[in-house]
Structure 1
Amino acid sequence: MLVSGKNSNISFKAELYDFGVIPSKKEATAIFNFSNTGENPIVIKDVKATCGCTVPEYPKKIIKTGEGGEIRVIYDAKYPGRFNKTITVFYNGKDSPKKLIIKGKVPYPKEIDSIK
């Protein structure tokens, strides 16, 4: 039986990932490492992104006290400009949900100088 409540806790090494400048029309991956720092096992119930250009992958197994894992976030850099996306992690702990953020910039294509 899985216990939920005040003694289940997930701790991320970082809650923000800055890609900096990434190439247009490429996928880029951020990895958020975490550990179970609570007294009870944790289960990540769901991870949601703010848009379809951001796809999270997360462990579906029970994570025991002292163990860890990672949430991978794949960003599809289709559109130029700055981006700032929120990933929401739902789990069986008192501080659920946790927010993770990815940000960066996709450069605009260089304009073709057709005027001579």
Structure 2
Amino acid sequence: MKKLALMALVAFIGFTAQAQQAKITFNEDTVDYGTIEKGSDGLRVFEFTNTGDAPLIISDVKSSCGCTVPKKPEGPIAPGASSSIQVKYDTNRVGPIRKTITVYSNASEPMVALKIKGTVKPEAASVLEKS
């Protein structure tokens, strides 16, 4: 009988622990820079909400390239609370932007891929320069 009660207690604790889980919900999973000038502001923000019922902890945020620097929020995000992940792209690199930012957390979906896209156009040539 004691074994049966112990098994029931373990099952109950396991069910209770699994019932509470963080869930990360992003407003948008892609940020479009559009066409921007070389050297312009490359900072963009991904906003999200913890739609789960446990605190959300972002453990790491990584970029697919060194030209993109993500910044994760510090500390846990309470259920129902919102926060953001900042992404700074090096806009001195001319050409198309196609990068992935991977977010690692304790959420029900522990790994989420975010994307940035756009184009950095070169500086306009001076009218005094020869073509």
Q: TM-score range by the shorter chain?
A: 0.7 to 0.9
Q: Is the 8 A contact 2:24 2:56 kept in 1?
A: yes
In the alignment, what sits opposite 2:91? Answer: 77
Q: What CA RMSD, in Å, does the superposition of the two structures yield over aligned residues?
A: 2.1
Deviations 1:28-82 (A, max 9, x none): 1111110100111110000001111111111121111001101010111122111
TM value normalised by structure 2: 0.77
Please state which structure has a larger fraction of its residues in strand: 1
In the alignment, what sits opposite 2:130? Answer: 114
TM value normalised by structure 1: 0.86
Unaligned runs of 5+ in 2: 1-16
CA distance in 1, matches of 2:54, 2:117: 32
The percentage of aligned residue pairs carrying the same residue is 35
Q: Which fold has the larger relative contact order, with Cα–Cα distance below 8 Å and residues 6 or more apart in sequence?
A: 1
Alpha-carbon distance, 1:22 to partner: 1.3
Q: Is the 8 A contact 2:47 2:82 kept in 1?
A: yes
In the alignment, what sits opposite 1:91? Answer: 105
Unaligned runs of 5+ in 1: none
Please state which structure has a larger fraction of its residues in helix: 2
